[in-house]
Amino acid sequence: MLFYEIRTYRLRNGAIPEYLKVVGEVGITIQKKHLGNLVGYFSSEIGPINEIVHIWGFETLDDRQARRSRLAADPQWQAFLPQIRDLIVTAESKIMTPASFSPLGGKDPVQ
């Protein structure tokens, strides 16, 4: 993997258990079908509270775009979204690349 998308959601106070339940029972299967490489899925314990972070790996940015487009178009995903939409207060997405010495591999940026 060359690119990692780190998605961070701030949830309503106390919404983490409900969010993780519905994602674990329904949402993650749909996401993994389209997005593929789930690196990790986390909830906060210390620091910012009510936060979910999930990380997905992609070969290229075009690969990410194609996979996200397929996910967005999936009728199962569209039917699932209302179950989590009102639990999410804010959402952020970052694209990161690992350094050559990272356990995930990578290469250093061209200077």
The per-residue pLDDT for range 28-55, each reduced to its tens digit, is 999 999 999 999 999 998 888 999 999 9
Planar angle of CA 57, 61, 62, nearest 5 degrees = 115
For residue 108, the model assigns a pLDDT of: 64
The CATH code of domain 3-96 reads: 3.30.70.100
For residue 59, the model assigns a pLDDT of: 93
Token pair for residue 73?
């178009």
Residue ranges of the chain with pLDDT lower than 50?
A: none
Q: How far is CA 101 from CA 17, 106, 107, in A?
A: 35, 7, 8
For residue 45, the model assigns a pLDDT of: 87
Kindly give the pairing relationship between strand 51-58 and strand 88-96. Answer: unpaired
Listed residue (86, 93, 84, 77) closest to 19, CA to CA: 84
CA distance 23 to 92: 18
For residue 93, the model assigns a pLDDT of: 96
For residue 73, the model assigns a pLDDT of: 98
For residue 19, the model assigns a pLDDT of: 97
